[in-house]
Amino acid sequence: GENVEQHPSTLSVQEGDSAVIKCTYSDSASNYFPWYKQELGKGPQLIIDIRSNVGEKKDQRIAVTLNKTAKHFSLHITETQPEDSAVYFCAAAGSSNTGKLIFGQGTTLQVKP
């Protein structure tokens, strides 16, 4: 079945710096790759997603890139702010077209003021 690996598990950056989180997936038929942000005591919130027919997608300070050949995708956050501090999860939708997502293990991002 699908497996998603996420790195790093923790990331600390200074306010204003960029942060990059990387994920790899195993099922070459996966075609949907969302990123979720989870703040303390809350449920994961979808922040950006990308489909397999697109290589890059950007939304203000957040961007996601996808390399289907290498089977990896990345989240880029520019000009980080303290409110970006949270746990970030990547996920991949498997090839069964059921909508089932396989999640990475999460990255705890700390942005220091």
Partner 1 sequence: DARVTQTPRDKVTEMGQEVTMRCQPILGHNTVFWYRQTMMQGLELLAYFRNRAPLDDSGMPKDRFSAEMPDATLATLKIQPSEPRDSAVYFCASGLSTGGFEQFFGPGTRLTVL
Measured from the CB atom, is 14 or 98 closer to partner 1?
98
Residue ranges in 48-77 that form contacts with partner 1 under rule CB under 8 A: 49, 51
Dihedral angle, C-alpha 8, 111, 55, 68, nearest 10 °: 10
Residue whose token pair is 């300070």:
61
> Judged by CB under 8 A, which stretch of 15-23, 40-48, 53-61, 75-83 contacts partner 1?
40-48
Q: Which two tokens stand for residue 57?
A: 């997608």
Question: Shortest Cβ distance from residue 12 to partner 1 (Å)?
Answer: 19
Single residue of 50, 66, 93, 111 touching partner 1 by CB under 8 A: 93
Backbone region of residue 99 per phi and psi (left: phi > 0; alpha: psi in -120 to 50; beta: other values)? left
Question: Shortest Cβ distance from residue 93 to partner 1 (Å)?
Answer: 4
Q: Which two tokens stand for residue 5?
A: 């690996």
Task: Calculate the CA 23 to chain-centre distance.
Answer: 7
Summarize as ranges the residues that interact with partner 1 (CB under 8 A): 32, 34, 36, 42-46, 49, 51, 89, 93, 98-106
